[in-house]
Structure 1
Amino acid sequence: MDNKTTAIVSYITIVGWLIAYFSYKNRTEKDAYVSYHLEQSLGVFIFSIIISVITGILITVIPTLSGIFSLLTLAPLILLVLGIINASNEVTKPVPLIGSFFERKFSFLQKF
């Protein structure tokens, strides 16, 4: 896979992230662009798990607002789509709201 494809695949489910990670790890030439998008997509997946747990708790505690709380679970999907758009445009721009938090947080991606 080329760099652009690897960056895009990293945003397509956690399995796609694993495929992109191992594909990138085995390369001899490393690119900061791909590392950046691997970090961003992993950050969005972690954010997705956190949002799912929080909304599950909130729906259990306040069931009358379950419709509103369930809309929160769409946020990671929107962030993934925005990440794919950034990766396809070959820019290293963080995803909105949470992207800057996950920049340079995963040291195992920087060791390449």
Structure 2
Amino acid sequence: MNVENPELQAEPTDVANNKGMAILAYILFLIPLLAAKQSRFAMYHANQGLILFLALVAVNIVSTIVPVIGWLLIGPLANLGLFILAILGILNAAGGRCKPLPLIGSFRIIKH
């Protein structure tokens, strides 16, 4: 296993057993949060998925409030960027890596 985050030392068996939950964390972070509490690997990716979700909510609130520029420029570009971050997170989880997402991955809400 290739661990990119020095804080997280997930076991190879943990990665193998919870890779699906880690991938799912970028689509529905709540499911791995409830179903794989014992997995450090799944919890790491659930944290990344939660931060991605919160960034998505914040971006959409701001782009809705700011007239015209927010609707036509900020919202679409920011949502595209967050979609790309979700793809990167899914690829990291599928590859068994604990690599933080660019820009937002350094935040930690869920203890893993």
Q: Do they superpose with TM above 0.5? A: yes
- Give yes or no for contact 2:62–2:70 (8 Å, CA) kept in 1: no
Q: 1:6-59 deviations in whole A, cap 9, x for unaligned?
A: 0001111xxx3222222113xxxx23211111111100000100010111112x
Structure 1 moving runs of 4+ over 3 Å: none
Instruction: State the distance in 2 between where 1:21 and 1:64 align.
Output: 36
Instruction: State the distance in 1 between where 2:30 and 2:70 align.
Output: 35
Structure 1 segments unaligned to the other structure (5+ residues): none
Q: How far did residue 67 of structure 1 move?
A: 2.4
C-alpha spacing 1:24/1:72, structure 2 compared with 1 (3 Å): same
C-alpha spacing 1:50/1:64, structure 2 compared with 1 (3 Å): closer
Q: How far did residue 84 of structure 1 move?
A: 0.3
Secondary structure at the counterpart of residue 44 of structure 1: helix
Match among 11, 20, 24 for residue 9 of structure 1: 24
1:67 paired residue number = 72
How many residues of Structure 1 are paired with residues of Structure 2 in the alignment?
96
The aligned runs of 1:70-85 (5 Å cut-off) are: 70-85=76-91
- Bigger fraction of residues in helix: 1
Q: Provide the identity percentage.
A: 34
1:21 paired residue number = 33
